[in-house]
Amino acid sequence: MEYRSILFANERKTSEADEPFMSDGAMSDLGLDMILEEMLRGREGEAELRQWFRCPLPDIDAVRYRSSVMEDIDGRLTLEAAEKFVLRVRRLTECLNFGEACSGSVQSCKWRLDAAVEYCKAVSEMKEAINVAGLRSDGLTRCSEWLSACAMSKPFIRLRDDAFELDRTFCDMKYSLIASDGLFYIYAGSDEADYCAELRRTFDRDGESEGSLQAIVGLRTPGLEEEILRLLRKRHPAAFAALESFCNIHSSFVDPAVLTLASELTFYIACLRYFRAIRKRGLYYCYPAITEKKELRVEAGYDLKVIAATTNLPIGNGIDWHAEAAVVVPAFPERPDSFGRTVGQIIALSALGCPVPARSAVVPHVDRLYTHFPKADRPERNEGKLKEELARLRPIVAEADHGSMVVLNETFSTTSTCDAVAMGRKLLDLLTARGAMCLFVTHLPGFAPEDCDAGRKRVEEEVERYGLTKERLRSRLKERLHG
């Protein structure tokens, strides 16, 4: 039975040539660049993992496939089981690499035995964890069937039995190592207690220990290891002969699909660790319903960039959008970008099959996300603010289509109110004519639903109310000058 990807419904993989779901500028506008770095902390060197977070899924079925797997891992499989599997696969890879780097054949064989033990434990433990999880997703259900077939195959059973038996033999070998005056003394046999085991039992209050306690983790001394092995080989020739035979029989035992599964699980682990940290702060997240309709319904959505900068719990935004275009005046003027970012984050994360920062959400499927947020002035470019905005808008208008979402935030706010309203409406007309969904967040008065004349009238009423008309200002100036 062949392995089927748990990340891609149709086995399509991403590559560096794939067009990203959004530009680097859009990532920055929405604060998703910071969120991605937080998710990938400790995994910065995994280029393929970063690529998976940047490239869109081809259709709505692919999004639902990945989202259902994510929800299964979050709520049924347990994230800890997935992490344990990935850790064992990482260890087996390290063991194989160490074995290839060793000059001695005995050392190399022992590293291969260690790799085989980790490999068999990884497959067997993951199979058991999935079998008892009560899974619902198509991806993990198929993965469970594949793991069961793998673990029950004759080659795997022989590998497991041989590896575990030989590993027990080597674990029973005892020797003493004494360091004195810059020299190491090695003695076969040892009656001393295993102090690491004693410490583990002392500090393990529940009587169960995860992993082993080691005095020095990651220390490698090839020369010393060779001497230890030379001594042990003299005392246990049959065991070392069995080790060489093991390596000859099981020269290639790793199924590449196991490495693929571990790599794909890392995507889910990175995402869920981030959202679970948010939940520990008293916040919430949900798995959105993905729809082909042009509608967006969100209950209590919040901005992930804002919560990263404060310990206060955010006030959620409700959204009920059933049209191609929407114009929104944000409720919190002190955070003018927050509403647009919230919508953009929900759209972007849902398109990748990830949870979203909201209590509940119904989200349209989009294949490209564009943003247009205010940028800081760049005097060296020697161009006006309006010209700069229009230059950034040009490719958006040219590329956005029926599968796109465009988030506009305070666009044209640097020009006059009437000009901004006129240009804003023209921009919305151009984008919606191409079939794109558009969100326009603005504080401009008279943008919608009033026309520009009505907006000007409202401004004039406010000016009259506060005594700021031209005549009133002149009158007050004369009074002050002529006292």
> What class, spelled out in words, does domain 284-449 have in CATH?
alpha beta
pLDDT value of position 353: 95
Q: Where are the domains of the chain?
A: 24-197+219-268, 284-449
| Residue 453: per-residue pLDDT | 53
Predicted confidence (pLDDT) at residue 428 exceeds the cutoff of 70: yes
Per-residue confidence (pLDDT) for residue 265, from 0 to 100: 96
> For the chain, what is the radius of gyration of the CA atoms?
31
Q: Which of 24-33, 227-236, 260-269 has the lowest mean pLDDT?
A: 227-236
pLDDT tens digit sequence for 140-163 = 999 999 999 999 999 999 999 999
Mean pLDDT of 186-213: 60
pTM: 0.82
How confident is the model at residue 219, as a pLDDT?
47
